[in-house]
Structure 1
Amino acid sequence: MLPGAVRAATRRKPNIVLILADDLGWGDLGSYGARLIRTPALDRMAREGIRLTDAYASANVCTPSRAGLLTGRYPIRTGLAYDVIRASDTIGLPPGEVTIAEMLKPDYATALIGKWHLGHVAPYWPPTVQGFDLFFGLPYSHDMTPLSLYEAHAPGVELTREDVDFARLTERFFDRGFRFIETNRAKPFFLMMALTAPHYPLVPNPDHAGHSPAAAYGQVVEEVDAGVGRLFARLARLGIDRDTLVIVTSDNGPWFEGSSGPLRDRKGGGGWDGGFRVPFIARQPGRIAPGRTSAALSMNIDLLPTLAAWTGRPLPAVELDGRDIGALLRSGGPSPHEDLLLFDNESVAAIRTAHWKYVRRSYYRTVDLPLSDHGYDLLFDLRVDPAETYNVSSLHADVMADMRARAARADARFGAFARGPRKKVG
C-alpha cells in the first residue's frame, strides 16, 4: 500500500467525481496522442494517476452506454440497447435498476450535472428518481428539441428561468458542479458531470474561441480540459484533493469530428473499436499510484462494482456484468475480464479478449451487415494490428472456433432480453 494510503482511507469515505464527456474520441487528448488539441490539465492528471488504453464503453452510442455505466450491466438487460432515446420516446431506465447513485446511498450526497438521456417522462424522469439528490442539466442530447435546462431536487422538477446558452453550457455545468462540491465538502459526495461536449453541434465558448488549431471541436475539448484544471484547483483549495477520486472518460467514440486514433471507425460503427474504445484516466493521490499506463481490459460497466468496493458499499442484489477494477486502478493490476462483449443495438457485434478481436457485424452503405451470416466473420490480432485491418482467421482456426463459441454462448445468454426496434411516435 502506498505511504499515507491507510490514513487517507480511514480519514473519510472518498469523494467521487466522474466526468463523462459526450463523443470524445480515444485520440483527442494529448496523453493519447493528440497533436492539434492541447489538454495540459488532463495530461497532468494522467501523469498523476493511471491512464487506460483499452477501456471500452458498453455501447457505441450514448443512451445504452449511459445505462451500462450507471447500472454495471450490459444495456440489453435494461431494455435500452437499441438506438438512443428520442425526444418523442416514452421509454427510460427502469426504476428497478440500481444506479451508482442509489448504490452509494445513504452514505453519499449525490448529483448529476449535465446530460441524462435515460428517459424524460415519468417514471424515468427526473434523475432524482434514480438516487440523485440534485439534477441540473438536459433531458437528452443538445441537438434534440424541444430543449431546456432543468434543475430538480427530489421530489419535483423545476424549469430554470434562463434559456440554454450553448456557448456557456460547459462552463455552467462545471460551475454548478463546483457549487455542489462546496456545499458538500464536509461529507462524502458523488458528482457525475455528464458533459454535452464535444457532441455536435459545436458552439465554442467565446473565452476559448480561436485558441485551437483543431477549430471548433478543439476549442470545445480545450474548454473541458480547462474545467478539469479548475476542478483540481478547487479540490486543493478545499483540502479534499487526496480524498477525491476523479475519473474522466467518454460515453462512446467520436462522431462527425474528433479522433479515434489508430482505431477503426467511430461512433455507431458496428463492432469496430473506434466506436467503443474511449479515453479513461483516474486519479486519487495516495490511493492510485502515479504515472501508470495500462492495457488491461475494462468497460464502463465496471464502474459500479469498482466504486462499491472503493467506498465500502455493498453491491446491489442483481446480476452484474461489470467487475471490480480497483486493483487495476491502484497499481496497474490485471484485468478481471476474460472477454468483453460489444453490442451494436441488441446484437453481439464483436468480442474482445486481451489478445484477439472477433468482429461479426458492420455496416455497408445502408445495410446493417451481419458478417457471420455470410461466412465472413473476422479475427484480428490486436497486438500487431490495433487498427483491425487484416483478418487472420485463416491462420488461427483454434482461436476462431473459440470466439464463435463465445459468441454463441453470449447469444444464448442475452438473446431473451432483445426487444427489437421501437415503434416511432407520430
Structure 2
Amino acid sequence: MKRNSFSTLFAVWAAILFSTSTFAQKKQQKPNVIFIYADDVGYGDLSSYGATKIATPNIDRIGKEGIRFTNAHTTSATCTPSRFGLLTGKYPWRQKGTGVLPGDASLIIPTDRLTLPKAFQNAGYKTASVGKWHLGLGENNKQINWNEPITKGPNETGFDYAYFFPATSDRVPTVFIENHDVQGLDKSDPIMVDYAKKIGNEPTGLENPDLLKLPASPNHGHNNTIVNGIGRIGWMTGGKQTRWTDEEIAHVFLSKAEQFIEENQKTPFFLYFSLNDIHVPRMPSSQFKGKSQMGLRGDVILQMDWTVGEILKKLDELKLAESTLIIFSSDNGPVLDDGYADKAVELAKGHKPAGALRGGKYSAFEGGSRVPWLARWPQTIKPGTVSDALICQIDMLSSFANFFQQKIEVDDAPDSFNTIDAILGKSKTGRPYLIKQGGALSITRENWKYIEPREGKAIQELTNTDTGNNQAPQLYDLSKDLGEKTNLAAKYPAKVKTMAAELAKIREAGRSR
C-alpha cells in the first residue's frame, strides 16, 4: 500500500511538474511578428472603420479575430518621419533631415543605436524589411553609386534581409534593391540619378505629355523622367533592365514576403512589410483594375486588402497563425490628388477617406496621423476587442524591448513608451500623452489636444488639405469634438498655457521618458 501510495504521489507530482513546465514554455514562447505598414491609408478607408463604398474583408478579419484600435497614431502626417519614429523610437522633429526624402538621400537611421529590428535580432529573431523604404541609403552627404553595392541601408539598421525600393514609387530611381544590390543591373547601361537638374535625353512628362498613360496633376512636380508611361519626381538615365513595372509591384513584394515567411517558419521572425499601396501613382494589376467603382484609388485599396489576405492564407497554410502577432497600420492619413490626374477626387463621392476626422496627409489635425491599427495574436488577444487606448507607432520599440525583457540605454528610443499591454489588449491604458507633427506640432493629453501657432496656408491648394496652420493657438476637446470643429483656446486660456508649456518642456528636454 505504501509503495502504491508513493507511486501515485510521484506520478501526480511528475504530472504537475510537466504541466507547469509546459505552461512556462508556452508562456515564454516568442511570437512571430508581422507589421504590415500601409501607405496613405486613412482612418475611414477600411470597412471596419466605417467605409461603406468599399469593402476590406481581409484587413477587417485581423480586427475581428483580434483587436481594433480607435485612438492609434503615427508620429507624423507624412511618410518618412513616421517611418523614422517607428524604427528609432525617437520623434523625427528632434533630428534634422527627417522630412520627405528624395530618392537619392543618405541614410537617416542611425546604425550605432538600438532600432526596432535590432531589438528583435537581440531576442534571437530573423528580421526582414520588404517593400517601401524611404529612409535614405548610403553614407551621409555622399552621392550614391547605384552601379555598385550600396554601403548602408536596411541591413545596417537591423534587418537580416531586405528587398525594397529606395523611396516612393513616384520618385526615381525606379529600381528594386535586394540587400545592397540593385536588381537586374547591367553595368554597360549605368544608372544615374539627379534631383536638381535634368540628365540624359530620355522623355519627360513636361516635354512629352503625349507619352503618359497617367497624366500628371498640374504643379505637383510629377513630370520628370517617364518610366512605364508615368512621369516621376527627379531625373534618371540608364538602368533600362532594372526598372519596375508599376502594375507588378504588389505581386513582387508579396512573393518576397511569403518567401521570407516560408524560409523562417521554424524560427521566430519579424517581418516589416511596407506596402506600396495606396500611394501614387496608383497602378493596380489587371486583377483589380476597374473593380472598385472608385477609380484607381479604390482599385489599389482592393489590391492592398487582397495582399493582406494572401499573408493570412500563408500563415494558415504553414500553421503559423496561432503563433504569429500580425499588425496592420498606416504611415499617415489619406490624400486623394497627390500628383496624378487619376480622378480620385471625383470618384470618391460618398466615401470619406478620413472618416469623421478633419484634415488628412500633411495636416496637424487628427486626419493626418490618427490611423487604422488592427492586431491579431490568437494565443493572447481576445477576438473582437475594440480599444480606445492611446497608442503610437513610436512605442513599438520600447514595447517589444520590454516584452523581451531587454534593457534600453538612456540614449536609445528617447520618446518611446512601453505600451505592450495596450497593444496586446491586456490594458485600456496606453501612453500618457502624445506629440505629433503635421507641420505644426500638437500635444494630446487625455481628451485635450493643443496645436501650437504656426504661419502658413490653412488649406494646401495642391492636395486640398486642411493643414491646421493657424497663427493663434488651437485647443480641442476630442471626447466631444473628434472632428476638431470648435477651437476652445479662448474659452480655456489656462489649459492652453499649461499644454503649451508642457510641449515646450518636452521639446527642450530632448526626450520624453
TM bucket normalised to smaller: 0.7 to 0.9
Q: CA deviation at 1:244?
A: 0.5
Q: CA deviation at 1:53?
A: 0.9
Q: CA deviation at 1:21?
A: 0.5
Could you tell me which residue of structure 2 aligns to residue 281 of structure 1?
374
Asked if 1:92 corresponds to 2:115, the answer is no
Which stretch shifts more, 210-219 or 72-81? 72-81
Sort the Cα spacing of 1:17 and 1:220 in 2 relative to 1 into closer, same or farther, 3 A.
Answer: same
Could you tell me which residue of structure 1 aligns to residue 258 of structure 2?
178
Q: CA deviation at 1:158?
A: 4.1
Any idea what SS the aligned residue of 1:16 has? strand
Once residues 164 and 312 of structure 1 are traced to their aligned partners in structure 2, the CA distance between those partners, rounded to angstroms, is 42
Q: CA deviation at 1:359?
A: 1.4
Any idea what SS the aligned residue of 1:331 has? coil
Once residues 91 and 132 of structure 1 are traced to their aligned partners in structure 2, the CA distance between those partners, rounded to angstroms, is 14
Q: For the Cα contact (< 8 Å) 1:17–1:191, is it kept in 2? A: yes
Could you tell me which residue of structure 1 aligns to residue 481 of structure 2?
385
Return the TM-score normalized by structure 1: 0.88
**Which of 43, 58, 61 is 2:75 aligned to?**
58
Matched length:
401
Amino acid at match of 2:170: D
Q: CA deviation at 1:341?
A: 0.6
Spell out the pairing of 1:226-241 with structure 2 (5 A cutoff).
226-241=306-321
Q: For the Cα contact (< 8 Å) 1:119–1:139, is it kept in 2? A: yes
Spell out the pairing of 1:351-370 with structure 2 (5 A cutoff).
351-361=443-453, 363-364=456-457
**Which of 130, 142, 150 is 2:177 aligned to?**
150
Could you tell me which residue of structure 1 aligns to residue 330 of structure 2?
250
Q: For the Cα contact (< 8 Å) 2:165–2:174, is it kept in 1? A: yes
Q: CA deviation at 1:171?
A: 1.7
Asked if 1:133 corresponds to 2:227, the answer is no
Amino acid at match of 1:400: V
Sort the Cα spacing of 1:36 and 1:369 in 2 relative to 1 into closer, same or farther, 3 A.
Answer: closer
CA RMSD of aligned residues (A): 2.4
Return the TM-score normalized by structure 2: 0.73
Once residues 296 and 404 of structure 2 are traced to their aligned partners in structure 1, the CA distance between those partners, rounded to angstroms, is 39
Q: CA deviation at 1:78?
A: 3.9
Amino acid at match of 2:400: L
* CA deviations over 1:57-89 (Å, ceiling 9, x no partner): 1111111110100111111334344x2111343
Q: For the Cα contact (< 8 Å) 1:288–1:329, is it kept in 2? A: no
Q: For the Cα contact (< 8 Å) 1:339–1:354, is it kept in 2? A: yes
Spell out the pairing of 1:219-230 with structure 2 (5 A cutoff).
219-230=299-310
Sort the Cα spacing of 1:312 and 1:221 in 2 relative to 1 into closer, same or farther, 3 A.
Answer: farther
Identity among equivalent pairs (%): 31
Spell out the pairing of 1:5-404 with structure 2 (5 A cutoff).
8-10=26-28, 12-81=29-98, 83-90=99-106, 92-106=108-122, 107-122=124-139, 125-152=152-179, 156-160=180-184, 163-256=243-336, 259-269=353-363, 271-317=364-410, 318-331=412-425, 333-344=427-438, 349-361=441-453, 363-364=456-457, 371=470, 374=471, 376-404=472-500
Which stretch shifts more, 296-305 or 85-94? 85-94
Q: CA deviation at 1:6?
A: 6.0
Q: CA deviation at 1:268?
A: 1.0
Sort the Cα spacing of 1:221 and 1:15 in 2 relative to 1 into closer, same or farther, 3 A.
Answer: same
Q: CA deviation at 1:8?
A: 4.1
Could you tell me which residue of structure 2 aligns to residue 419 of structure 1?
none
Any idea what SS the aligned residue of 1:390 has? coil
Once residues 206 and 241 of structure 1 are traced to their aligned partners in structure 2, the CA distance between those partners, rounded to angstroms, is 30
Once residues 228 and 172 of structure 1 are traced to their aligned partners in structure 2, the CA distance between those partners, rounded to angstroms, is 14
Sort the Cα spacing of 1:157 and 1:313 in 2 relative to 1 into closer, same or farther, 3 A.
Answer: farther
Could you tell me which residue of structure 2 aligns to residue 421 of structure 1?
none
* CA deviations over 1:353-405 (Å, ceiling 9, x no partner): 2211111246415799864xx4x211111111111011122333332222122
* CA deviations over 1:176-211 (Å, ceiling 9, x no partner): 101000000000001000111100110011111121
Q: For the Cα contact (< 8 Å) 2:38–2:277, is it kept in 1? A: yes
Sort the Cα spacing of 1:320 and 1:380 in 2 relative to 1 into closer, same or farther, 3 A.
Answer: same
Once residues 314 and 105 of structure 2 are traced to their aligned partners in structure 1, the CA distance between those partners, rounded to angstroms, is 39
Any idea what SS the aligned residue of 1:31 has? helix
Q: CA deviation at 1:312?
A: 4.2
Once residues 50 and 23 of structure 2 are traced to their aligned partners in structure 1, the CA distance between those partners, rounded to angstroms, is 31
Q: CA deviation at 1:311?
A: 3.9
Amino acid at match of 1:398: A
Sort the Cα spacing of 1:130 and 1:112 in 2 relative to 1 into closer, same or farther, 3 A.
Answer: same
Once residues 77 and 23 of structure 2 are traced to their aligned partners in structure 1, the CA distance between those partners, rounded to angstroms, is 36
Any idea what SS the aligned residue of 2:71 has? strand
